[in-house]
């Protein structure tokens, strides 16, 4: 089975994914032909660049022979509909905000000139973009995938702003460069003919972004909505690392998330973003190859699923030091086990023992079997596959009289079912202010209940 693994340790954007596709073997003609088919006076410039010592491919979209830029940088309400113009897409691609002295809301494509820049089209509605793609000389699967990607973007914006989807007017993601990013990426994916896509957890970066309605933490609202159900984290840099286009492409691919599955890798591609941050390669890595036989029937967790298959490893031990058992549990968690439990049990001849239970992704089972057999005194392991159902988890931060405390929110759909303060945050706050841990926990819950709780839907 042909599979591909996307490593998003530096996030993902549309142009980065295009570069990775090319570097992994998709012919330039595939992307250039898809660009030309749209008939929007656009072309591609492809070059090799260095990103913190990593040789990678950078793709530039040209409009009329000049570097395409995204449209205006604020959101405004017009009588024709809601115009969607987040700054974040363009800042990630170019490394600096792009501003105009005037902004416009349009019901139609509009080209104008700016001093020291060039004309560009923006203000396309979802209907405009759908017609543009449908009328292009593209394979039907490419058209369907590209249109669905824009529908996902539109649905997120409509949800955030509480307006009908047909009143959303795309500006930055409706500009030429973003349209080319999406359509050319869909053409590249179609060319690869991969049977299954896999993806690492996604680094969204950190810091804040400035939107029309104020300053928001990374990821920006539309990106955050598109990433719902996907495993994300923030590390290394205080920059926005995932754009709405990149998030939408991931959602349309619907990859299986987790560590790289067992596979024989044939091709590896690196796609570059514009920023060249010191000691942090701003690239997305794409690995393509064949799945190893034991991986072909090992489904993990897809975005939006609330159930997943896990492997359970168990063994009972009555002749091993508790210190060594604790070491094994810590080692397993550090190596990616989903959970480890140590349960007191009574074994044969009345001997007290410990039941070691380890949960992991099916593709990691062999690795953890070796760990248990090597690090413990057991002579055998019981192995089975179970299904587990998980609440969607996210964190919010409550500002309490004792400092900031993170709360873990567990949701089923739109219903919040569990709210739990992070114990270590509470412990540190309690030590700093010489109060009990439970007092900090109660303050965090109270803050959430009275100030942060989202209204019932």
Quick check: 72 pLDDT over 80? no
Q: Which alpha helices (H) appear in 233-357, and where do they start and end?
A: 244-253, 322-334
Of the candidates 105, 91, 24, which has an alpha carbon nearest to the alpha carbon of residue 57? Answer: 24
Which of the two residues, 200 and 163, has the higher pLDDT score? 200
Q: Are residues 170 and 186 in the same domain?
A: yes
CA distances from 238 to 10, 196, 217, 232, 282 (A): 12, 32, 10, 15, 13
3-state secondary structure of 259: coil
Are 399 and 447 a contacting pair, CB within 8 Å?
Answer: yes
Interior angle at CA 120, CA 105 and CA 64, nearest 5: 160
Say which DSSP state 435 is in: -
Of the candidates 221, 282, 321, which has an alpha carbon nearest to the alpha carbon of residue 50? Answer: 282
Q: Are residues 188 and 139 in the same domain?
A: yes
Q: From CA 123, how far away is CA 100, in angstroms rounded?
A: 15
Are 21 and 267 a contacting pair, CB within 8 Å?
Answer: no
Quick check: 139 pLDDT over 50? yes
Q: For residue 135, what pLDDT is reported? A: 94
Q: For residue 112, what pLDDT is reported? A: 38
Q: Are residues 127 and 142 in the same domain?
A: yes
Q: Cα(first)–Cα(last) distance of the chain, in Å?
A: 43
Residues linked to residue 18 through DSSP beta bridges, in sequence order: none
Are 54 and 64 a contacting pair, CB within 8 Å?
Answer: no
Q: Which of 389, 417, 440 is the last residue before a domain boundary?
A: 389
Q: Are residues 240 and 364 in the same domain?
A: no
Residue 301 lies in a domain: no
Q: How many helices (H) and strands (E) does the chain have?
A: 12, 26
Q: Are residues 220 and 192 in the same domain?
A: yes
Which of the two residues, 105 and 208, has the higher pLDDT score? 208
Which of the two residues, 455 and 106, has the higher pLDDT score? 455
**Res. 302 pLDDT band, cuts 50 70 90:** low
Q: For residue 102, what pLDDT is reported? A: 34
The neighbour count for residue 325, using CB atoms within 10 Å, is 18
Are 263 and 175 a contacting pair, CB within 8 Å?
Answer: no
Residue 300 lies in a domain: no
Q: Are residues 230 and 128 in the same domain?
A: yes
Mention every residue, 6+ apart, whose C-beta is less than 8 A from residue 52.
276, 277, 278, 279, 280, 281, 282
Contacts by 431-438, CB closer than 8 A, 24 or more apart: 432/402, 432/403, 433/401, 433/402, 433/403, 435/402
Residue 40 lies in a domain: yes
The fraction of the chain above a pLDDT of 90, given in percent, is 51
**Could you give the number of structural domains in the chain?**
3
Q: From CA 73, how far away is CA 70, in angstroms rounded?
A: 8
Residue 283 lies in a domain: yes
Output Rg (C-alpha) for the chain, integer angstroms: 25
Q: For residue 168, what pLDDT is reported? A: 64
Q: Are residues 150 and 11 in the same domain?
A: yes
Here the CATH number for the domain that contains residue 363 is 3.30.70.1380
Residue 162 lies in a domain: yes
Q: From CA 124, how far away is CA 109, in angstroms rounded?
A: 6
Residue 177 lies in a domain: yes
Of the candidates 295, 317, 298, 309, which has an alpha carbon nearest to the alpha carbon of residue 372? Answer: 317
Q: For residue 453, what pLDDT is reported? A: 65
Q: For residue 343, what pLDDT is reported? A: 96
Whether residue 219 has a cis bond before it, omega within 30° of 0: yes
Of the candidates 126, 96, 86, which has an alpha carbon nearest to the alpha carbon of residue 219? Answer: 86
Q: Are residues 98 and 238 in the same domain?
A: yes
177 exposure class (CB count in 10 Å sphere: 0-12, 13-18, 19+): buried
Q: Are residues 249 and 315 in the same domain?
A: no
Residues linked to residue 403 through DSSP beta bridges, in sequence order: 400
The fraction of the chain above a pLDDT of 70, given in percent, is 80
* Domain span at 422: 392-452
Residues linked to residue 404 through DSSP beta bridges, in sequence order: 399
Q: Are strands 2-7 and 263-272 parallel, antiparallel or unpaired?
A: unpaired
**Chain segment 308-362, per-residue pLDDT in tens:** 788 999 999 999 999 999 999 999 988 888 999 999 999 988 999 999 999 998 8
Residue 302 lies in a domain: no
320 exposure class (CB count in 10 Å sphere: 0-12, 13-18, 19+): middle
Buried b (16+ CB within 10 A) or exposed e, 347-367: eeeeeebbebbbbbbbbbbee
**Chain segment 42-61, per-residue pLDDT in tens:** 999 999 999 998 999 999 99
CA distances from 75 to 118, 169, 225, 248, 415 (A): 21, 10, 18, 20, 30
For 166, what's the count of Cα atoms within 13 Å in the CB-facing half-sphere?
1
Here the CATH number for the domain that contains residue 410 is 3.10.20.300
Q: From CA 366, how far away is CA 178, in angstroms rounded?
A: 42
Q: Are residues 111 and 21 in the same domain?
A: yes
Q: Which of 365, 389, 413 is the last residue before a domain boundary?
A: 389
Q: Are residues 254 and 359 in the same domain?
A: no
Residue 457 lies in a domain: no
Q: Which of 340, 359, 389 is the last residue before a domain boundary?
A: 389
Q: Which of 208-212, 403-407, 430-434 shows the lowest per-residue confidence on average (mean pLDDT)?
A: 208-212
Phi and psi at residue 44, to the nearest 5°? -115, 145
Q: Are residues 189 and 256 in the same domain?
A: yes
């Amino acid at each position: 089975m042909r599979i591909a693994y996307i490593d998003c340790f530096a996030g993902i954007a549309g142009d980065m994914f295009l570069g990775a596709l090319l570097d992994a073997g998709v012919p330039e003609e595939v992307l250039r032909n898809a660009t030309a088919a749209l008939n929007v006076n656009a072309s591609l410039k492809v070059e090799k660049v260095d990103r913190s010592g990593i040789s990678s491919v950078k793709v530039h979209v040209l409009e009329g022979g000049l570097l395409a830029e995204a449209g205006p940088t604020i959101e405004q309400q017009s009588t024709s509909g809601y115009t969607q113009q987040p700054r974040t897409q363009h800042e990630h691609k170019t490394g600096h905000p792009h501003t105009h002295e005037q902004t416009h809301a349009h019901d139609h494509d509009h080209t104008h000139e700016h001093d020291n820049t060039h004309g560009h089209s923006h203000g396309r509605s979802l209907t405009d973009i759908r017609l543009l793609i449908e009328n292009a000389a593209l394979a039907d699967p490419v058209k369907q995938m590209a249109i669905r990607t824009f529908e996902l973007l539109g649905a997120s914006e409509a949800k955030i702003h509480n307006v009908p989807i047909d009143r959303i007017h795309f500006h930055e993601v409706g500009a030429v460069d973003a349209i080319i990013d999406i359509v050319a990426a869909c053409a590249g994916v179609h060319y690869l003919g991969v049977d299954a896509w896999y993806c690492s957890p996604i680094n969204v970066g950190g810091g804040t972004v400035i939107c029309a309605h104020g300053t928001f933490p990374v990821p920006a609202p539309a990106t955050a909505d598109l990433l719902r159900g996907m495993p994300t984290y923030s590390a290394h840099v205080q920059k926005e690392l995932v754009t709405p286009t990149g998030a939408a492409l991931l959602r349309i691919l619907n990859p299986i998330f987790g560590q790289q599955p067992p596979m024989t890798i044939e091709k590896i591609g690196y796609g570059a973003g514009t920023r060249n941050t010191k000691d942090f390669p701003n690239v997305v890595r794409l690995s393509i190859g064949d799945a190893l036989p034991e991986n072909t029937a090992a489904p993990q967790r897809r975005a939006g699923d609330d159930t997943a298959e896990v492997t359970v490893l168990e063994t009972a031990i009555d002749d091993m030091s508790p210190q060594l058992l604790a070491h094994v549990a810590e080692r397993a968690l550090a190596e990616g086990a989903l959970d480890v439990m140590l349960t007191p049990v009574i074994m044969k001849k009345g001997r007290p023992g410990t039941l070691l239970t380890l949960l992991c992704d099916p593709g990691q089972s062999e690795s953890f079997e070796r760990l248990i057999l090597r690090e413990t005194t057991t002579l055998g392991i019981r192995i089975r596959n179970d299904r587990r159902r998980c609440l969607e988890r996210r964190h919010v931060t409550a500002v309490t009289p004792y400092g900031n405390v993170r709360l873990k929110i567990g949701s089923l759909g739109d219903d919040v079912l569990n709210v739990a303060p992070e114990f270590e945050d509470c412990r540190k706050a309690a030590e700093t202010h010489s109060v009990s841990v439970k007092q900090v926990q109660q303050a965090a819950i109270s803050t959430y209940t009275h100030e942060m709780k989202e209204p019932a839907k």
